């Protein structure tokens, strides 16, 4: 059979003008085919080809500078982008703001699952995920600027129930990242920190008679890969590029703890959580952690929820919950910031579409998620902030399906000065940007839909706690040291319902030296 191994520049020449190119990857370089991305960038800068590409990615890809989606952030190179998360490429965000491209968002899970449907030749993805949110055609259809004039989904009714049908599209090229390829072209992920949606990308490209291009770190002899190590068979692969410089992340050359290759007692060795000064993040985390119970299946989002996951590590209680993230990982110690999506010593690594199947079927007990802003109806926005395209990542898939959703975030932004650590919370200076607003800029979580589904929804801040009711948002708790009128109600753009009894949060949440964090409750 034909040798499938080529160099990166030859791989870039497989992309033609007007092609639809699907990418995989996550922030920090997770499963990113950096060598292939850079080859396309080099070719475009030298020849102005390929041009007018449609680029699709389920999660955020990049370093906010030159890598990931930044390699495609050129006027002329792309004409349309369907992205799950945009903040890792400020240059691409600017192209959106300047109307240089047509910009869309899809929920991360929907994007991955839709590729699987395309790969199976089915007529799109039929799902409840996204109803009542910005991707519902009645609320914007996923369009992020005026240049975007299509609806990516349509509302359908099946047996009297509404669903969204996300429309299939044709895939011309799939860029995939893996660990190794044997001489025949069989692909292994054994040294990767995630699987993401690699199989779905490959399936979609094959079904559309497109090209599957895989970047790997090494070429190994025929027969050296065990059958169960092969995640993409040679029959699916068109071209392979070997990049000996491929890293686990932008900053980490290789760490077997991230790929789950550590076994035995070493896997369970305690890892100290990263320390940071005690502040409002830890206070919110302590209050949020009160919602945990032993045996809960939990998902953590990025932002303030980071602090909740760190607190669980500090308590030594990782073995008392089932910790998951949408990238497909179970267990382990989660990494934060630009390395969100990685876990040290995970207990299992699944494909992302399968993980989202589990979420969509109601597998999550609790999701701890951040918020950009929320309003009186309980709607939450994380997808468009200050006019910039941000995107939901897996937020919509997770928030819409967890039995309990705990939104965690600071009460206000920009210029806020807080003092805590002695059992109280004090506001030295109010913020210039209000996050509890009259009406959110975009609906990434629908309060009315959540109430109709019977979800338990909390909105926790360092000053006050709120919950979703059938009549909207209700305030039921304030922090010690906070003046309800001055520090909370006067700083909101809407008047919440007030609970019959407004409780005071435990002083231990705000005391730096108080180790009485509480223990996990029984289920």
Q: Which residues are catalytic?
A: 326
The Cα–Cα gap between 135 and 127 comes to: 12
Residue 268 φ/ψ, nearest 5 degrees: -100, 5
The Cα–Cα gap between 107 and 372 comes to: 17
Buried b (16+ CB within 10 A) or exposed e, 409-433: bbbbbeebebebbebebbbeeebee
Q: CB neighbours (10 Å) of residue 460?
A: 27
Q: What does DSSP assign to residue 247? A: -
Pick from 336, 304, 308, 331: nearest CA to 320: 331
Using CA atoms in the order 88, 441, 415, 337, what is the torsion angle rounded to 10 degrees? Answer: -30
The Cα–Cα gap between 47 and 117 comes to: 35
Pick from 272, 263, 331: nearest CA to 300: 331
Pick from 213, 220, 211, 219: nearest CA to 242: 219
Q: Are strands 297-300 and 322-325 parallel, antiparallel or unpaired?
A: parallel
């Amino acid at each position: 059979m034909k040798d499938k191994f080529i160099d990166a520049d030859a791989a870039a020449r497989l992309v033609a003008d007007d092609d639809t190119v699907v990418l995989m990857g996550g922030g920090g370089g997770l499963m990113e085919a950096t060598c292939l991305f850079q080859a396309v960038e080099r070719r475009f800068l030298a020849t102005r080809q390929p041009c007018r590409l449609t680029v699709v990615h389920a999660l955020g890809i990049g370093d906010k500078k030159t890598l990931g989606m930044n390699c495609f952030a050129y006027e002329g190179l792309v004409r349309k982008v369907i992205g799950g998360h945009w903040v890792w490429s400020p240059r691409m965000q600017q192209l959106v703001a300047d109307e240089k491209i047509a910009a869309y968002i899809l929920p991360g899970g929907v994007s991955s699952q839709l590729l699987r449907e395309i790969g199976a030749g089915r007529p799109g993805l039929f799902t409840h995920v996204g109803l009542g949110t910005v991707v519902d055609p009645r609320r914007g259809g996923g369009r992020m600027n005026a240049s975007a004039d299509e609806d990516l989904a349509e509302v359908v009714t099946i047996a009297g129930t509404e669903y969204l049908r996300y429309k299939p599209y044709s895939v011309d090229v799939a860029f995939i990242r893996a660990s190794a390829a044997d001489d025949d072209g069989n692909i292994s992920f054994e040294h990767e920190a995630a699987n993401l949606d690699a199989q779905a990308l490959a399936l979609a490209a094959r079904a559309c008679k497109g090209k599957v291009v895989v970047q790997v770190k090494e070429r190994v002899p025929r027969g050296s890969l065990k059958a169960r190590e092969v995640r993409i068979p040679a029959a699916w692969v068109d071209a392979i590029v070997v990049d000996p410089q491929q890293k686990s992340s932008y900053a980490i050359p290789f760490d077997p703890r991230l790929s789950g290759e550590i076994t035995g007692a070493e896997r369970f060795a305690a890892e100290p959580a990263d320390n940071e000064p005690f502040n409002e993040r830890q206070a919110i985390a302590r209050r949020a952690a009160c919602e945990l119970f032993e045996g809960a299946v939990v998902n953590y989002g990025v932002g303030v929820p980071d602090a909740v996951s760190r607190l669980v590590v500090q308590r030594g209680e990782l073995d008392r919950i089932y910790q998951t993230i949408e990238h497909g990982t179970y267990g382990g110690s989660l990494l934060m910031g630009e390395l969100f999506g990685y876990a040290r010593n995970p207990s299992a690594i699944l494909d992302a579409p399968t993980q989202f199947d589990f979420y969509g079927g109601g597998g999550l007990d609790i999701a701890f998620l951040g918020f950009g802003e929320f309003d009186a109806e309980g709607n939450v926005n994380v997808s468009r902030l200050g006019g910039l395209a941000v995107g939901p990542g897996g937020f919509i898939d997770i928030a819409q399906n967890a039995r309990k959703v705990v939104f965690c975030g600071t009460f206000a932004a920009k210029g806020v000065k807080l003092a805590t650590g002695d059992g109280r919370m004090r506001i030295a200076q109010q913020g210039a940007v209000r996050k509890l607003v009259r009406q959110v800029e975009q609906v990434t979580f629908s309060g009315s839909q959540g109430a109709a589904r019977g979800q338990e929804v909390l909105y926790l801040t360092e000053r006050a706690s709120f919950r979703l009711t059938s009549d909207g948002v209700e305030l039921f708790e304030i922090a010690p040291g906070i003046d309800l009128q001055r520090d909370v109600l006067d700083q909101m753009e809407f008047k919440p319902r007030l609970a019959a009894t407004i409780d005071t949060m435990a002083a231990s949440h705000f005391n730096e030296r108080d180790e009485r964090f509480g223990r996990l409750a029984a289920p």
